[in-house]
Chain A
Amino acid sequence: MNRKFFRFGKWTLLIGLIFFLTAACATKRYWGPTMGRSADSQFTPADALEKALKSASFEKYRGKKIWIEVYSLTERTGEESPEERFLRSWIGEKFVAQGARVATSRDQADISLEVKARVFGVHQTRRDFIPLFYAESTHGIVDLHLTYYEKESGKILHTEDLKGEARYLEYYILYMIGPFKSIK
């Protein structure tokens, strides 16, 4: 009798726990614009940019003065968007690290580099597998087209395309336990 009661109690507890947990709800929240750009939306394109620039070699411009201009289709309030300013500075640092110099004005440069950022941003997908699973994935994508012009003649020296992707997945089990994170 006691054993039966114990078994019944165990099942009741388990079912009660499942009912309790399935009513749970975890949701990532973004409150734009007061929250600013979300951290996921910042670090995934930054990681993708690092991957894109890994394959690039600026060695051939060692000792040269480079003037960098970045163009993108991102949002802005002034002439240059935050993405363009960031890309210009970051690529400039890569050149300096490999022995080139960044010119302080276009007139002083030996090489003029135009970077067209076809893509510098994120693609986000939310998945709900009610009541078991909830996930938010952020896919950072960078697609750059670089054109090197010789300053004197204005001729194109060479062009190259640099692409990089970074995926960040955050998921919750039973809408309560988590987040479990994975970065690729």
Chain B
Amino acid sequence: MFFPLGLLVLWLILPSCATVDYVPPGQGTSAEQQSALAKSLEENMKEILFDPAGKAVDLHVHVLGGFQNSLGLERYVKSLFREWVVGKGGEVGPGEFRMDVFLPVLGTTATRRDLSYQNIPLYYSERFQTTARLIVVVRDAEGTMVCLWQGKQSGADLTDIYLMRIFGPFDVPLPGR
């Protein structure tokens, strides 16, 4: 009794299919992509060596990426750094120090994996990896470099895993996450 029932369940599961859909512009920028980029930026900022406590810092941000144009990303990064400087006891505005924040890389890579054996779908995953490279240059009023900090090229990693292409998504931790 169990054997034919099991076969029937297997027969029903085999042609199943779950797919993560990305359909811009009908969907807007995907929530996962935004989340991965935001996390990646925040993680990078934790390691900056410059201490802005008690200093007035004139903040300038230069980015290369951004969707369609770079203005949104520039504003976002500037707001992050403003909070960071003020939170550490400094202030943002014209003053004794000028901080230039360069973000030459901030982007995502999506990888889809399908594992099937003789057309039997066993495993399907969508992995979203972000790459961020952050460089901070601080100069004093005379233009002398006080600090040059370059973050490790790192990023956030989000993965949705489906088994038999129907059960899931499972959020499985990956090495280096």
- Asked if B30 is an interface residue, CB under 8 A from chain A, the answer is yes
CB distance from A149 to the nearest CB of B (A): 7
Q: Which of B26, B33, B79, B80 has the most CB of A within 10 A?
A: B26
Determine which of A31, A74, A126, A139 lies in contact with B72 in the assembled complex, contact meaning CB atoms within 8 Å. Answer: A74
On chain B, the number of residues with a Cβ less than 8 Å from chain A's Cβ atoms is 44
Stretch at the interface among A7-15, A103-111, A114-122, A173-181: A114-122
Size category, A interface: 35 or more
Q: Which of A150-172 contact B (CB under 8 A)?
A: 154-156, 159
* Min CB–CB distance A19 → chain B (angstroms): 16
Q: Is the Cβ of A120 less than 8 Å from the Cβ of B86? A: no
Taking the closest CB of chain B, its distance from the CB of A167, in whole angstroms, is: 12
State whether A154 touches B69 (Cβ < 8 A). Answer: no
Closest chain-A Cβ to B112's Cβ sits at a distance in Å of 13
Contacts A122-B27, A129-B166 known; A154 to B38 CB distance under 8 Å? no
Chain A residues whose C-beta falls within 8 Å of the C-beta of B166 in the assembled complex: 127, 129
Interface: A125 (CB within 8 A): yes
Beyond A76-B67, A114-B79, whether A123 also contacts B32 by CB under 8 A is yes
Pairwise interchain contact B25-A32, C-beta atoms closer than 8 A = yes
Whether B31 contacts A141 by the Cβ 8 Å rule is: yes
Contact B86 A156 (CB under 8 A): yes
Asked whether A72 and B27 contact (CB < 8 A) given A79-B71, A149-B86, A156-B83, the answer is no
A128 at the interface (CB under 8 A from B): yes
Q: What is B's interface to A at a CB cutoff of 8 Å? A: 12, 15-35, 37-39, 67-69, 71-73, 75-76, 79-80, 82-83, 86-87, 91-93, 166, 169
